[in-house]
A and B are shown apart, each in its own frame.
Chain A
Amino acid sequence: MAKLTGDTESGVLTLRVARYNPEQDEAARPQEWKVKILPGMTVLDALFAIKEEQDGSLAFRCSCRMGVCGSCGMFINGKPRLACNTQVSELGSVVEVAPLPNHDAIKDLVPDLSLTFSRHRAVLPYLMRRDTAEMESPTREYHQTPEELARYVQFTYCLKCSLCLAACPTAATKEQFLGPQALGQVYRYVADSRDEGLAERAGVVDASHGVFGCHLAGACSEACPKGVDPALAIQLLKRSLFSGPPHRSAAQVVPAFPEGHQTPEAAVRPKAPPPSV
């Protein structure tokens, strides 16, 4: 192995990137660049510095640059992280970057997330109700208390960045495993008091490649950049498969406002004068 080089004190960072060009390469090949460290520099900033000043052919995916879109997931110094959310100052003088593990690499650091998205779709990630007529053309609102919201709101922060799948040891060996992202989102809907779709979703996840493929290594929750904690969601989902969802009955529809209610704006707003002819 080559000697690690680079020095944060001298303000220079060595970036070692696993590169892959589908037209030339059969395996990933490492390439090194040196980048001048700037205050507040993230790994994504360093990659942009390389792309703009040293090698325009370097491919990576990003969008928001502030940890919201989940596009720039990479394997940085042995852990899946968002490149835009990771300061180079916390990584040392040499940073090793590779595409997300347990995914296919399209080119350089661009992972193929289509499997993650298709698995997400496979677990029916939407509210399911028995009153389909009300669902299709709603007349009123579904009632939900703040306590009921707290049961699942943590899991709604999922970016679908697939870092959890890259960290999961089960996904490393079991290709059919649905993975922490999709399974966590199942519980997000199962725990929603407006939902009645546990039985339908159980048909998808009650299997060895589903919820029981999780052996509680906890790596997914460590890798999650938004504190979604998929490991917690999956264990609570297992419990729900045995004992039902955390809410006893589905949320009822309620009128948005009581009969005869007038919004404050409507009450205060002066009436327009009658049109003068």
Chain B
Amino acid sequence: MATQVKVPTQEAVPPRLSMRLGLRGWVYAGRYPAERYLYILHRLSGLGLILYLPLHVWVTGRRLQGPEVWQQTMAVLSRPVFVAGEMLILAAFVFHAFNGFRLLFGHLGCALGKPAHPVYPYPVALHRQRSMTVALMVLASAFLAFGVWNLLTK
């Protein structure tokens, strides 16, 4: 008599609840320190600059259509709402550039210190960049102030 082989059946896995945060996970920094907020600002400013780029190309492209069209465009762009927009773009650019230097140093493992035996309270390497971060943000603010002053007085 042939023996019946019992084929193991795979039990149905009960449904799992996905706790993936999605966009909320990178937009909300909650109780994390400054570097986590700089991460959000860096992404937002980068996104803003990327979105501005096609507009910038379109505006400068108007120059090809003759001096009259260009004058018209410039007249539109001198309205307060566009000047304010220009300031925002400048702020995004200055912040992104200076914070980019900080990240560049970090990604190359510079100004983070060396690994060591962890002793409580545990140090976080990124905090060793704090003085550099403050210096870069002060520089960014100075550049931004100069740019805004330049925009308002031109």
Report which A residues bind B (CB closer than 8 A). Answer: 20, 22-23, 25, 27-28, 77-79, 98-106, 111-112, 150-155, 157, 167, 169-173, 175, 191, 215-219, 221-222, 224, 226-229, 231-233, 235-236, 238-239, 242
User: In the bound complex, what is the Cα–Cα distance between A157 and B119 (angstroms)?
Assistant: 11
User: In the bound complex, what is the Cα–Cα distance between A191 and B114 (angstroms)?
Assistant: 12
Q: Does B62 contact A (CB under 8 A)?
A: no
The distance from the CB of B134 to the nearest CB of chain A, in whole angstroms, is 16
Of A25, A101, A219, most B-chain CB atoms within 10 Å: A219
The distance from the CB of B138 to the nearest CB of chain A, in whole angstroms, is 20
* With A151-B115, A173-B25, A236-B115 as contacts: A111 and B19 at CB distance below 8 Å: yes
Please give 20 more A-B residue pairs, beta carbons under 8 A apart, in addition to A172-B23, A227-B120: A79-B31, A102-B25, A103-B20, A105-B17, A111-B19, A150-B115, A153-B117, A154-B116, A169-B39, A216-B39, A218-B36, A218-B39, A222-B32, A222-B36, A224-B122, A227-B118, A227-B123, A228-B118, A236-B112, A239-B108
Interface size class of B (residues with CB under 8 A): 35 or more
Contact assessment for A235 and B112 in the assembled complex, using a CB-CB cutoff below 8 Å: yes
Contact assessment for B19 and A102 in the assembled complex, using a CB-CB cutoff below 8 Å: yes
Query: How many residue pairs, one in A and one in B, have C-beta atoms under 8 Å apart?
Result: 147
Q: Which of B21, B33, B115, B119 contacts A229 (CB 8 A)?
A: B115
Contact assessment for B107 and A169 in the assembled complex, using a CB-CB cutoff below 8 Å: no
* With A150-B117, A227-B120, A238-B108 as contacts: A216 and B126 at CB distance below 8 Å: yes
The distance from the CB of A87 to the nearest CB of chain B, in whole angstroms, is 14
Q: Which residues of B contact A175 (CB under 8 A)?
A: 20
Report which B residues bind A (CB closer than 8 A). Answer: 14-26, 29-33, 35-36, 39, 42-43, 103, 106-109, 112-120, 122-126
* With A79-B30, A222-B32 as contacts: A154 and B21 at CB distance below 8 Å: no
Contact assessment for B24 and A238 in the assembled complex, using a CB-CB cutoff below 8 Å: no
Q: Which residues of B contact A215 (CB under 8 A)?
A: 39, 42-43, 103
Contact assessment for A104 and B19 in the assembled complex, using a CB-CB cutoff below 8 Å: yes
Q: Which residues of B contact A154 (CB under 8 A)?
A: 115-118
Contact assessment for B25 and A172 in the assembled complex, using a CB-CB cutoff below 8 Å: yes
For B20, give the chain A residue with the smallest CB separation: A102
User: In the bound complex, what is the Cα–Cα distance between A22 and B23 (angstroms)?
Assistant: 25
Q: Which residues of A contact B31 (CB under 8 A)?
A: 77-79
Contact assessment for A173 and B23 in the assembled complex, using a CB-CB cutoff below 8 Å: yes
* With A101-B25, A224-B122, A239-B108 as contacts: A22 and B17 at CB distance below 8 Å: yes
For A169, give the chain B residue with the smallest CB separation: B26
Q: Which residues of A contact B117 (CB under 8 A)?
A: 150, 153-154
